[in-house]
Amino acid sequence: MGLIWSLATVSGQSCTCPDYEQRKSKCKHVWAVELTVTKEVDVEGNITITKTVRKTYSQDWHNYNISQQVEKEQFMKLLSGITSNIRSPAYSFGRPSAPLGDTVFSMVFKVYRTFSGRRFNTDMTAAQQHELITKRIPYNTMFDYFKKKDLTPLLVQMVTLTSLPLRTVEHDFAIDSTGFGTTNFQRWYSFKHGKEISSRRWVKAHFVTGVKSNIVTGVKITSEFDNDCPELPELVKATAENFDMAEVSADKAYLSMDNLQAIQDVGAKAFIPFKSNSQSSGNGMLWKKMYHYFMLNNEEFLQHYHKRSNIEATNHMIKSKFGDCVRSKTWTAQVNEVLCKVICHNLYCVIMEMHTLGIEAEFVS
């Protein structure tokens, strides 16, 4: 900007930019300096000016670069190791179906590649040549399996399975929901505006994530109209089956006595901020205890609560790498496609920590 600032200019609030010279009021440069410089006055009237240093975090670029370079190869091997243990249903009659393990491999790998079914055909041929699958699944068959409700519980189990290599790493968790757009539209007549309104429908994903590695430990897919609060007990209980939970952070939408009790039942501590109209009594001792802790130790409480910000990073990671919308048309296919995105994200996190922390990818329930 070509401006030379000194600490003495803070008290005088002066600047040499044209905006300040014309308006004679605070410009963006004055505001910027006031945000980074703190003025303290002692009992004798002496002024001490200190500069706030922004805290930064180092990045292990060496291991990050290595993991990115070999990610696709390791992703295919890890996914093949998981899907090869999936048993196909017993043959009864009619035309033999495609191997279930190879079909699930193609579904998850297709979401990872973000290609159309036809363009994805080359990747399946390469996977067969490397003996990662036994049979190349036609893309039409793969799309048919996306529509099967029977695969939804299997994909949910795969989300849990792919998070297990990091169960010794993660102890603090956060919970939230996010939406994935669809190609379906909904229309209704608005009496308030006196016209028909059209909007795109979306799929809502509720999940619990670790705040260190951003691994997703539990997930549930609902419609856009379902609330966040009732989903917490089920997701926390599912995570506690495989992880030693110490903290659970969530925003005000999850504040309820049932949720606080569900978190305490798994041996964890809840960090959910109270609302402006929340009362200290009337909901039991646990509610009263957390309310007073929030009011009397607010700064300490917020230090734990702000770990919840890591789940926003998880949302960004999933959507930026694997898309913020789904291509499927039917509801079941949309649910399964979102679950495949979460599986891809978990495998990515495992590969990253394999190089950063040196962990072994052991998918053992």
User: For the purposes of burial, counting CB atoms within 10 Å of the CB of 57, is it exposed (0-12), middle (13-18) or buried (19 or more)?
Assistant: exposed
Per-residue confidence (pLDDT) for residue 168, from 0 to 100: 92
Angstrom distance (rounded) from CA 260 to CA 258? 6
Residue 95 has a pLDDT of: 77
Give the sheet arrangement for strand 247-249, strand by strand. 216-223, 195-210, 172-190, 247-249, 269-271
Does residue 82 register a pLDDT over 60?
Answer: yes
Asked if pLDDT for residue 115 goes beyond 90, the answer is: yes
- Residue 218: name the closest of 274, 272, 262, 273 by CA: 262
The Cα-based distances of 344 to 8, 172, 265, 339, 352 in angstroms read 54, 22, 31, 9, 12
Position 317, amino acid: M
User: Residue 302 CB: number of other CB atoms within 10 A?
Assistant: 12
The DSSP letter of residue 91 is P
What Rg do the C-alpha atoms of the chain give, in angstroms? 26
- pLDDT at 246 exceeding the cut of 70: yes
Q: Is 206 helix (H, G, I), strand (E, B) or coil?
A: strand
d(CA 316, CA 323): 10
Average pLDDT over residues 133-140: 92
CA 9 from centre of chain: 43
pLDDT digits (tens, 9 = 90+) for 269-283: 999 999 988 888 767
Q: In this structure, what DSSP letter does residue 307 have?
A: G
Q: For the chain, what is the mean pLDDT?
A: 87
How crowded is residue 58: how many other Cβ atoms within 10 Å of its Cβ? 5
Residue 2 has pLDDT above 60, yes or no: no
Are 147 and 333 contacting, i.e. CB atoms less than 8 angstroms apart?
Answer: yes
Task: Read off the pLDDT of each residue in 1-29 and give the average, rounded to a whole number.
Answer: 66
> Is residue 274 within 8 Å of 294, Cβ to Cβ?
yes
* Four-residue CA torsion sign, 299, 305, 308, 310: positive
Mean pLDDT on 125-132: 93
Candidates 254, 233, 246, 63; CA nearest to 171 is 246
Question: For 181, phi and psi rounded to 5 degrees?
Answer: -70, 155
pLDDT digits (tens, 9 = 90+) for 179-219: 999 887 777 667 777 777 777 788 999 999 999 999 999 99
Q: Is pLDDT larger for residue 131 or for residue 32?
A: 131
User: What does the domain layout of the chain look like in residue ranges?
Assistant: 9-51, 167-322
| DSSP-derived 3-state class of residue 180 | strand
According to DSSP, residue 311 is labeled: H
The pairing of strands 37-41 and 172-190 is: unpaired
Q: How much of the chain, in percent, has pLDDT values that exceed 70?
A: 90
Element (H, E) at 184: strand 172-190
3-state secondary structure of 33: helix
The DSSP letter of residue 316 is H
- How many angstroms from the chain centroid is the CA of residue 264? 23
Instruction: Look up residue 207 and give its DSSP letter.
Output: E
Look at residues 170, 292, 205, 309 and name the one whose alpha carbon lies nearest to residue 251. 309
Who's near 252: CB < 8 A, 6+ residues apart? 272, 273, 274, 275
- Given a contact cutoff of 8 angstroms between Cβ atoms, the answer to whether 151 and 145 are in contact is yes
Specify whether the CB–CB gap between 38 and 49 falls below 8 A: yes
Report the run of H or E that residue 197 belongs to, with start and end.
Answer: strand 195-210
